[in-house]
Each structure stands twice: as structure tokens, then as C-alpha cells.
Chains A and B, each alone.
Chain A
């Protein structure tokens, strides 16, 4: 249903930021006078303008797709698939991206900061995020997903000289990459189930996928990916630590865009998984838990950005729980559940607007006063009136008060949660009553921390003497972006249905494609006033009443937070896990990596003999065929006794010289065996080599350590005995059974027949060595040459003993 012809291969636009990123260092180095951010600003603005032109197409329920093949043989392609949902996210990314770049021009100092790197990372992130929301191919979606993790890592660690920045960057990397890998697992399972990487095709196959045995596993893995990225419980712990990033980054990545990638993922895959009860329970339950947890702990924080981080966590939980409730619409016809998805998208837009603004205000306060500690701040209203106005608008919207956008979405949220009680499938009639209660309590806390954030900072007594710098209003350039966002917050309240028509309904269509024929069929009309009968109204009044009460009594109950010991916090759990795994791995590797060759040989021999003996008997490979054995001769057996005695002597010898002599005895009796078995060439060679090697042993004798039994405990000896016996048994068994079952006849008859006619020789062994299979001989000559050169090198090129050769020393 493509409404118009699109000439440009617009998939290439995804890469526009990253291509521009290549130019950024040149611009930064060559054009000294102008802040690099002004050049970067062009990119998101152009993209925003271009993508906005898709709005009419999408509003009618259409979609546009542009594809660039990457690995066609595997069906992997870069896709730009634009429907309501991806367009909404694209506009958020480019729109807020433009505002953030504008803000950063005034926030980041041209002289002191490494702007070249900053904008490269930021543009990289923009490409990654556009790729995530527009990809129709799960493999490239994963690729871009990891690119967001990496660029976020780089941005959090931007001030890499600070320990906390590096810690935060590493922590967020560990957690989000863990989730990303889980998500990759889900994608692979999905591609096995549906035999395609395309999300649209998977959605089309959704009814068949539900009954597949991998379905639930894929569901859980996908949710792990979404929950880690969107900072849901218990994976939210990276987000507060990510606040070490520069404020534009916190505003952009950690409130408006990247943390919503998980929301996007859940929304995008709702048509596939939404009908499962696991999905509804997990998404709604974890979302609500996160909402409550985040809002509860936000009041504990004293750092402005930490309050906002916890508030982001809790608002993301809210959106997540609404998406879960929206999935119920696959089962229940009650209009309120279709409503929930609408509310989720609505709140997503609201949250991006007011949270972006609030972060920028926190950055301004930090910039102008030198601190973000709420205990040192107060009474800033008179010196920073514009910042105060914007902060108040944002906070009131966050708290859910009229006349701000948050009021509308919060009311829809409460209505949906109340309605959950009436849903009868999947045990919701038993436990459903918990949902509205938790949601309401969380809203009370949300109200409290919103008030806490704005009132403690801007009202109260002035404590300017404690501040590092004397506060004053920020430059106007810094205030433009938050002012625009605040304007949006107010505008949305008064014209919610315009935004609903242009952006939200097409997005809802993408999440619930089967419910409606086209976006205009969604009969949701948001009103600010529902009359006195609406449950949402009374709940909101209750939230304001109790929230005010809680706010006024903060000093009385804030000590409660101290009752939770640090050792029980999730952060401590993460730290203990990291430390424990490092320690544990160290202990494990120290346990088996002793640095002694003896131990390693023991492992190898034990493993080899056990596997081969087990295999022989498990696979019934052991066969003993006595008929193929030759008769035992008297000389043979006598010589065998000589050989065994000599070997025993080598093993039990007390001095090294005696052992060398006995080794010579072994070699000579082997030579005698060659004689008995009629191999004159072998016997000759064996005799010479044996003599030479005994002489070599004697030559090196002075340098050999005395034959000692140091470290040889009785237990060690027993283990050695067992292992050597089992190796002996293994070799014997293999030799016996391979002798007993010759699968194919020997080819030696051919050599016997042709040695004279083809090769003009009488000695078969020699003819084989130099004629039939001369290549082996060639390379054995090479081996000898290498050994000779190596010996020469070792003797001549002696490194001075003073230099440490072992890196562990």
C-alpha cells in the first residue's frame, strides 16, 4: 500500500549521520572559529524534515520500504521500513537529536572538550538508533542494536579520565550487551521457527509460530533484550550510573531514545508474542514493578540527574506495563485495552518531551551553579526564572497534572490498570486487583519526587554561599531547546487529537495490525475532561492529595531509606557478581593451570585414555579375533622379556646414568625385534639412532637435573600410576581391536608386484621411501634440517640471563 513513488533509496539515509561523522574530525581540526556542533546540527534537521514528509503516507495506513542487499545468500539486508511505529521513533530521534545538538553547542565548551570525538560518537549513535527502529531484518536490527550499546558506552565514558565514568560505561555495556546477545538468540530462534529474518513476514506467520516449541524461549529471550535496554527491573541499575555522561547525552540517550529501544522492540514484536499469557504477565508485571521501584527510590536520591534517572526508569516501566495491557486486546474485546496501547505511545511521546527538557534543565543548573546536589541547591527561582518555568512545566507534566500532557497519558494509564481487574483470562481476575493499587501508589511517589525535584531546587531558602559559582540565568542558546520541549508539553495537552491522528494512531496500527482496518478506524478521542464519573479523575485527585502529604512530610519518612542495608541493594548484587565471577574464575583457573607440564600431561593422558576406552566399549568397537594372530615364537617371547625388564629398569632406576644405560638396552632390544620381524633397514637405523641418542643424553648429562622425586607425594605417584596404566590399557585395546578388524585389505601386494618392473629396485622399503612416497621423505629431511638449525641457534644465540624471560616474574 505504498501511497506514492519514492525516488530516493531512502535506506541510505540511515547512514547519513555516520558518513557525516567521518567528516567531523576534519571540521573540528580545520575550522577553529566555529563550534563544531553547528555543522552537526544540519544532519538531524535534514533528516527530521525528510522523514516528516512521510507523515501523510503513514497517516492513511500506508508504509514505505527501501532495501539494500547486504548478504543476499543469507537473506540479510539493510532495510528501511517506515510505518507508523518506526516513523514515530524516527521523528523522536531526529527531532530530539536536533534539540540536543543545539543544546550541546552551548553546553560543551569548544576549548576544553574534545568535540571531535563527542560528535562522532553522537552521530554514530544516531545512525544506530535509526537503524534499530527502521530495520525490518532482524539481523541488521541486532547489528544496529549493538551499535547503540557501543556508542552509548563511548558517550558515557566521554570523560574517560574519571573513574566513575569508566565504571558507568563498563556497567552499562555489560548489561546491555548481555541483553543484546539474549535478543540475538531470540532472533535466531524466530528465524528457525519462521524461516525468515524479516519482521513483517514473521508477523504474518504469527498464528503458526504460537504453537512452536521454541516460542516461549524466544519470547523470554526477546524480553531479556528489551528489559535490559529499557532499564526494567532488575536491569535498571546501569541507568543511574550512566548519568556520568555529559548532560546532552543523558538527555538524548538515557531519557528520550536509547532506553526506548526496548519499548520499541516490545511494541514491534507484540503482534507475534502478544497473544501469549507469558508475554502479558511479564511485560505488565515487570513494567509495573519497575514503575513502583523507580518512583520509590527516586525520592531517595540527592543528585538531580539521579532523580531523573530513577524517574526515567519508572516512566519506562509505566510505558512497558501499558504495552502489556495493550496486548490483552488480542483476547478481550473491551475497548479499554486497545486504549492501553494508545496510552503507551502517547506517554512515550510525552515522556521524551518532558524528560528531555528536565535533563537539559539539570544540565543548566549544573553549568550555572557548579553542583547537582539537591541538598546544596535552593531558592534558584529568582535568579533563573526561565529555567524554573521550564522545570515546573516538565515536573508537573511528569506528575500528571493538568494542563500538561502528562495528565492525559497518566489518566489513560490509571484507567487501563483499573480495567485490568475485569480481565478474566490467565488468572487476572485473582491477582488483577494488585495492578491498579501498585500503579496508584507509584503515581503518588511520582508526584512526590516531581515536586521534590522542582521545589527543592528552585524554592526554599537561598544557599548561594555554599555554591561553587554564583548562579545566574543560562545563556539563551542553552534555553532554546528546553523551551521548545516545554512548549510541546503544553501544546500536546490542548491538541492531543491532532498528534493522535498524525502519529499515535498509525503507530497503534503497527502494534495491533489485526484489530483495525486503518488508522482512522481507531475510535479513540482523547479528552481532558471525562466528567465526574471517570475513575481516572478521582484517582488523580487522590494522587495529588497523598502526594502533597508525602512531600510535606519528606523529612519524617526519608530516613526509612536508610533501613535498607547497602549489602542488599541490586548494585551491590551486581558488584558482588562481577567481583565473585572474577575471583571464582581466578580460583578455577588457578586450580587447574598449575604451570607444571606434569599436570597438563596428566589431564591430556587421562582425558584421552578415558574417552577412547569409553568409546571402544560404548560403541562396541572392541573386538578380539584370535584367528588373525601369528604364532608366538620362543625368541620373540624371550626378547619381549628383555624389553620389559629394560623398561622396568628405566622406570625404577635410582640414578639418571643408570636410566640412560637402560634406555640404550630398550633401544637395542627393539632393534632385535626388528631383526626377528625381518626388517633389516629398520634394525640398522634403529641401532645407529639409539647409539646417537644415548650419546646425546650423555652429552647433555651435565646440564640435566639430578633425578629427584621432589614434590612426588604418594598420592601423586598413585595418580601417575593409574593414568599411565590406563594409557597402556588404552593403547593395547586399540591395537588389539584394530588388528582384529581389518576393514580393507592391505595395498602392499601392489608394491611387491611392481617394485622391479615399475621402479627398478629390489629393496621395497627404500623404493617406497624415495620413489612411491618420496614426498614424506622430503619433508622428513626438512624436519631434520630445521632441528639442526634450531640446535645451532639455541647454542649460539644465548639471551643474557639478566633479562627476565618470564613475564610473571
Chain B
């Protein structure tokens, strides 16, 4: 069974490499951003596979965290691309 997980892991990392190629090439910033978001998803899968391989429950927190972080990161990037800043000033200032 371990062989199956290992093959999955290698595939995940290879797809990560593919996504990195997209980050590299671009050509536009949104292309890179979507690729990075997908890298986050690949990371989740990789860590899940690792915890199965290492037979440990300690990395489950990390999976949840990456899900949150990758979401926050993508949102802030998107907002940055759209508005040019992440945290806008309040209307009364």
C-alpha cells in the first residue's frame, strides 16, 4: 500500500513543479497567483500523504492551516492586484 502512497506523493510533487513552471512563466500576474494557489492545494495533499506515510496524526493541523493561509494569501493578492493595496483606509480618515 505504501507504494501507492509514494507514487501519489511523487505525482503531487511533480505537479507542484509543473505549477512552479507556470509561476515562472507567467505571463500575467493572475496566472502566477492561480498557480501559487494550486501549489497550496498540492501542499495540502502532500502533507496529507506524508502523514499517512509517516503514520502520524500530528500534521493534520498543518493541513487546516495551509487551507486557511492559502485562502487568505490568494484573497490578499487578488485585492492587491485589483486595488493596489491590501488594507484600505477607512472613509473617515
Binding site for B on A (CB under 8 A): 634-635, 638-639, 641-642, 645-646, 649, 657-658, 661-662, 664-665, 668, 671-672, 675-676, 678, 680, 683-684, 687-688, 690-691, 694-695, 698-699, 701-702
Contacts and interface: CB of A to CB of B under 8 A. Distances in A.
Interface in B45-75: 46-47, 50, 54, 56, 58-59, 61-62, 65-66, 69, 72-73
Contact of A649 (B9, B23, B69, B72): B23
Give 7 closest A-B pairs by Cβ, nearest first.
Answer: A680-B58, A638-B13, A691-B69, A698-B80, A683-B62, A691-B73, A675-B47
Nearest to A634: B10
Interface of B: 6, 9-10, 13-14, 16-17, 20, 23-24, 26, 29, 32-33, 36, 39-40, 43, 46-47, 50, 54, 56, 58-59, 61-62, 65-66, 69, 72-73, 76-77, 80, 84-87
B8 to A, nearest CB: 11
Contacts of B10: 634-635, 638
A291 to B, nearest CB: 84
A294 B35 CA distance: 89
B29 A680 contact: no
Contacts of B61: 680, 684
A670 to B, nearest CB: 11
A contacts with B: majority SS:
helix
A668 B58 CA distance: 18
B80 A701 contact: yes
28 contacts: A635-B10, A635-B46, A638-B10, A639-B13, A642-B16, A645-B17, A645-B20, A646-B20, A649-B20, A649-B24, A658-B26, A661-B36, A662-B23, A665-B36, A668-B43, A671-B43, A672-B47, A675-B59, A680-B61, A683-B62, A687-B62, A687-B66, A688-B65, A691-B73, A695-B73, A695-B76, A698-B86, A699-B87
A795 to B, nearest CB: 13
A657 B47 CA distance: 27
B10 to A, nearest CB: 7
B52 to A, nearest CB: 12
Contact of B76 (A639, A688, A698): A698
B69 A641 contact: no
Given A680-B58, A698-B80, A665 B9 contact: no
Given A662-B23, A680-B62, A675 B86 contact: no
Contacts of A646: 20
A672 B43 CA distance: 7
A668 to B, nearest CB: 6
A642 B76 contact: no
Given A638-B10, A672-B46, A695-B86, A665 B23 contact: yes
A642 B17 contact: yes
A570 B33 CA distance: 75
Given A671-B62, A690-B69, 5 more contacts: A635-B13, A657-B29, A675-B59, A675-B62, A680-B59
B26 A702 contact: no
Contact of A688 (B14, B56, B58, B69): B69
Contact of B62 (A657, A658, A684, A698): A684
A676 B50 contact: yes
A684 B65 contact: yes
Contact of B69 (A639, A657, A672, A687): A687
Contacts of B13: 635, 638-639, 642
User: In this complex, which of B14, B32, B50, B66 has the most chain A Cβ atoms within 10 angstroms of its Cβ?
Assistant: B66
Contacts of A676: 50
Contacts of A661: 23, 32-33, 36, 77
A610 to B, nearest CB: 34
B45 to A, nearest CB: 11
A645 B39 CA distance: 14
Contacts of A688: 65, 69
Contacts of B62: 671, 675, 680, 683-684, 687
A672 B17 CA distance: 14
A664 B36 contact: yes
Contacts of A664: 36, 73
